[in-house]
Amino acid sequence: MEALMCTKLGDPTVNDQNSPIVVSKAAPIPELGSQTAVRVKVKATSLNYANYLQIQGKYQEKPPLPFVPGSDYAGVVDAVGPSVSKFKAGDTVCGFAALGSFAEFIVADQSDLFPVPEDCDLVAAAALPVAFGTSHVALVHRAQLQRGQVLLVLGAAGGVGLAAVQIGKVCGATVVAVARGIEKVEYLNSMGVDHVVDASKENVIASVKQFLKARKLKGVDVLYDPVGGKLMKDSMKLLNWGAQILVIGFASGEVPVIPANIALVKNWTIHGLYWGSYKIHRPCVLEDSLKELLSWMARGLIRIHISHTYRLSEASLAFSAIKDRKVIGKVMIVFDDVKNARSKL
C-alpha cells in the first residue's frame, strides 16, 4: 500500500532530498492484530498542527523513527476480526489514532471507530474528530458553555478555531472571533459570528470592548485560545469575574504566562486541554462527544469547511498550507481523485 513515512525529524514542508517525509508505495498492508480489530481503507485523513509539530520532534508525544504520521481519518471497512460486532465490510466509519492514518489502510479496534451517517461526506467526516472533538470537549464538557455567555475565540479561522465558533453558536453563546486577513474575516462573518476582529489591521481589545459596550455586555465569559503569545495576554483584559480560560495550544510559538494573582482575585478557572489524553483517562467522554458531533453534522448544525485537499504525494504542500497560515478550516489528504473528493458540506 501507499503510506507516508517519517524517516527523520525535520520540517515536512521541505520538498527535496532533505525532506523528513517520503511516500512508500510498498508499505505492507496492516494485518488484523486482534479478535476485535477492524481494517479500514482510508478515504481521507486530516492534517492537524500537532502532526506538523510531531514530524519536527516538537510535540509532546515523540514516537520512534520511522513512523507513519496521522490521526483522524474516515473510510470504508475492508475487513473485520471474528469477534467484531459493531461493523461489517463496506460500512463507512471515522476514527482517530495516535499514529498511522497517512496510509491507504489502517487497523483499529472496533471501540475506536464510529459509524458515519449515510448523508455525511467522508472527507468531511475525516476532518471531524480532532478539530471538532477538541473544541467540543473544551466548550461543552470542560467549560460547560451556556446560552447567553460571551465566547471569545482566538485563531478563529483555523481548524479548532472554526470548530469552536460553530459549537459556540450551537450552544447559544454570543461569539466573538479573532482572525487575520480579509478572506478569513469574510468567511467568519458569513457564518453568522456576532463580531469578527481582523487582528492584522484592528486593535483587538479596543474592537471587542466597543462591541461589548454596544451590546451592554460586561465582558468575556469563556476564552478559547489555540494561539498563545501576546494576543492571549492582551485578551485577559476582556475577561469577566468568574471567567474560564481554555488553553488549547500555542500556534504563535510563545507560551503565555497567566498571572496567578489576577486569576485568584477574579476567580478565573484555567483549563488545560490535551484532547488526546482523554483516550487514555476518560475514553467515554470522547465517545459521547464524537457521537454528538456526528449527529450535529448529519442534522446540518455544524459545517466542515475543507480549505485544501491534496494527494499523499503532495504532503509537503499540505504542510506548507498550515505553516503559512493559508488555511480556513481544514487541510486534507485524500486517497482518490482530488477533484472529486472535495467536501459537499
Residues of the chain where predicted confidence (pLDDT) is lower than 70:
337-345
Residues 6+ apart with CB under 8 A from 131: 46, 48, 72, 159, 160, 162, 163, 330
Count of other CB atoms within 10 angstroms of residue 293: 25
**pTM value?**
0.89
Question: What pLDDT is stored for residue 337 in this prediction?
Answer: 53
Distance CA 115, CA 94 (A): 7
Residue 120 in contact with residue 298, Cβ under 8 Å?
yes
Residue 291 in contact with residue 266, Cβ under 8 Å?
no
Distance CA 340, CA 209 (A): 44
DSSP letter, residue 103: B
* pLDDT tens profile 201-224: 999 999 999 999 999 999 999 999
Name the β-bridge partners of 109: 37
Angle at CA of residue 120, ends 288 and 291, nearest 5°: 5
Residue 146 in contact with residue 173, Cβ under 8 Å?
yes
Question: What pLDDT is stored for residue 342 in this prediction?
Answer: 41
Distance CA 129, CA 188 (A): 21
